[in-house]
Structure 1
Amino acid sequence: MRDSLRRIAALFYARNLEFVRDRAALVWNMAVPLLLVLGFSLIFTGNQKPLLQLGVVGTLPAAYQALETIPQLKLIKYEDLASAQLKVRHHQLDLLLNPAGGNYWVNPDSPSGGLAEYLLKQISMAPLVRDILPGKAIRYGDWLLPGVIGMNLMFSGLFGVGYVIVRYRKNGVLKRLRATPLTATEFLCAQLLSRVAITLVVSLLVFLVAYWLLGTPLLGSGWLLLLITLLGGAAMASLGLLVAARIQNEELASGLLNLISLPMMFLSGVWFSLEGSPPWLQAVAARLPLTQIIEAARAVMLEGAGWQEVTGMLTQIGLFTLCCVTLGAALFRWNAK
């Protein structure tokens, strides 16, 4: 057992040293996520919104159907009242209508809340009770940061493990390692641990810089956010390991990794929310591992969620990681033939 741990530690150190010496990869993994957050924070600075966003709890009655005819108004339906109210507090909704209860919620500090309230009063046939939900606005840069960190975990895990293993197999590195006492399990564990450690350090640095320079909020536990990052990095690295278990061609590996990563990047809420999109698309996106990672991180950072609120998502991420590691280890092949 001791010899096995020594071999894993030696390969872990060698892989990390290889990464540090690759200046291009080092700069890409550390600088690009931070530049994305800074750039989008500058581009989307300001409180103006292109549309009024009005949330509706439950089904919209016939008396309020006229709201759907206003082109400048976007209606978003919610089943969970608590999550919808939180969006009003964060200025992500201008107004929240509860037709069944005969009331609505508005944030008095929202610049568009008054206009949404005026339109509602012009259309409503019955008196509604006005309730207040005060809260501080969440900037786009704050909302974007968990998505950028999740995207970096995905690309770093998929290409940093999947592409590298395929390159090792093609160049004969795996064939030479097979001649050593190193086992396949030890090799895969070292690769997985190395990539998780690298992504964890990079994500921590990106978050700390954004926290200090941009004032990004952290309403929940920092340790819980660190655990989410750790599990997310393991999930993405294990997926890369599974893809590279048998592939011997770098071009094929690159194509498969892009085929996996690009849909996840656009469907997992990295750049924009899927609220208001078709229900089937939201259902598909909710099953993606990157979606679970980003939603858990945003819940902790922006909503102050605790362990109980993110346990389900963390469980799904853990099960996904376990399945990918098990299948990857079973399918792994040292040689190209």
Structure 2
Amino acid sequence: MSTLQGSATWRLVKAESTLCVRDKVAPLWGIGFPLILLIILASVPDLRQLVEGGGGLTYFDLYVPVLILFNLAILATASLPATLAGYRENGVLRRMRTTPVGPARVLAGQLVANLAIAVIAMVLFLATAWLGFGVDLPQHPLGFALAWLLAAAALLAIGLLISALAPGRAAATAIGTVLFFPLIFFAGLWGPISQMPPLLREIAPFTPLGAGMGAFQNAYLGDFPSVVQLLTLAAYAAVCGFVAVRWFRWE
């Protein structure tokens, strides 16, 4: 029985991955748009200036991990919810309900498909920044890898939660858009976290992208991410993932 269940899960993952690539929304917005934005930012001279108290990093150096988080945020708040909510709206999930698939496998299929795109995007961003613009790779690779994995899990779990509850594509898009801007704000897209007002600086480490950005910065400087940062990301992943499976709506 477990072998059959595993086989069904794997077939679902492969099917969702194929549909994700064929749909082109996730690859274009999750990889293409942030990569173009990275190249544009690299051409801005002012971003080559050193950040005060940034440990020798320039503003552009800081934007590389920000755009990696930006990629995760797009996948989590736009691509993933719109796809699964579209299935619900079109009656696909209602038909799947009659099969032994279950909510966990449906969500797992979307999670793996979007995670694969996120991995490709992360590798492309780091390679482009390093080979094309001379940005150093993280000095603590293991710390960066762990931080990225937990950040991806946290963001995609939020996307799964939106997907599980939104009645249709329009609602999922609206919820994702509302969440996207405050999430990416705390990653430092519009300005470094260190230059935020004191209250926002205190809030930022306990948001998913604020914790992710802090962990990335530590890894870039050669330090292992702090326990608080990693636990914050793990908590978002666990809580949002549990709620998504528990209150999943088939229709």
Structure 1 length as normaliser, TM-score?
0.69
Change (3 A) 1:42 1:5: same
Give the match for residue 230 of structure 1: 149
Aligned pairs, number: 250
Q: 2-side partners of 1:195 and 1:24: how far apart?
A: 11
Larger Rg: 1
Shift in Å at residue 313 of structure 1?
1.0
Q: Answer whether contact 2:143 2:223 (CA < 8 A) is retained.
A: no
Per-residue CA deviations over 1:182-237 (Å, capped at 9, x if unaligned) read 11222122222222222122211221122111121124232332222222111111
Give the match for residue 217 of structure 2: 298
Change (3 A) 1:154 1:48: closer
Candidates 242, 247, 250, aligned match of 1:331: 247
Candidates 130, 144, 147, aligned match of 1:211: 130
Q: What amino acid maps onto 1:247 in structure 2? A: A
Q: 2-side partners of 1:263 and 1:13: how far apart?
A: 33
Change (3 A) 1:11 1:220: same
| 1:160 is aligned to 2:79 | yes
Q: Where do 1:114-129 residues align within 5 Å?
A: none
| 1:18 is aligned to 2:19 | yes
Q: What amino acid maps onto 1:174 in structure 2? A: L
Shift in Å at residue 291 of structure 1?
0.8
1:154 counterpart SS class:
helix
Structure 1 range deviating more: 18-27 or 156-165: 18-27
Q: 2-side partners of 1:289 and 1:244: how far apart?
A: 18
Per-residue CA deviations over 1:100-127 (Å, capped at 9, x if unaligned) read xxxxxxxxxxxxxxxxxxxxxxxxxxxx
Change (3 A) 1:201 1:47: closer
Q: 1-side partners of 2:195 and 2:3: how far apart?
A: 55
Per-residue CA deviations over 1:235-258 (Å, capped at 9, x if unaligned) read 111101112222213222211111
| 1:310 is aligned to 2:229 | no
Aligned Cα RMSD in Å?
A: 2.1
Change (3 A) 1:212 1:47: closer
Shift in Å at residue 47 of structure 1?
5.8
Change (3 A) 1:272 1:324: same
1:232 counterpart SS class:
helix
| 1:320 is aligned to 2:236 | yes
Q: Which structure exhibits the higher relative contact order, with contacts defined as CA atoms closer than 8 Å and separated by 6 or more residues?
A: 2
Q: 2-side partners of 1:180 and 1:264: how far apart?
A: 36
Structure 1 range deviating more: 238-247 or 223-232: 223-232
Shift in Å at residue 172 of structure 1?
0.9
Q: What amino acid maps onto 1:312 in structure 2? A: V
Q: Where do 1:62-73 residues align within 5 Å?
A: none
Q: Answer whether contact 2:20 2:113 (CA < 8 A) is retained.
A: no
Structure 1 range deviating more: 203-212 or 144-153: 203-212
Per-residue CA deviations over 1:147-182 (Å, capped at 9, x if unaligned) read 011011111122232221111100111112112221
| 1:260 is aligned to 2:187 | no
Q: Answer whether contact 2:103 2:245 (CA < 8 A) is retained.
A: yes
Q: Answer whether contact 2:138 2:219 (CA < 8 A) is retained.
A: yes
Q: 2-side partners of 1:299 and 1:145: how far apart?
A: 14
Q: What amino acid maps onto 1:305 in structure 2? A: D
Q: Answer whether contact 2:49 2:58 (CA < 8 A) is retained.
A: no
Q: Answer whether contact 2:193 2:201 (CA < 8 A) is retained.
A: yes
* Aligned residues with identical type, % of pairs: 25
Q: Where do 1:1-337 residues align within 5 Å?
A: 1-45=2-46, 84=53, 87=54, 89-90=55-56, 138-301=57-220, 303-306=221-224, 309-335=225-251
Give the structure with the larger helix fraction. Answer: 2
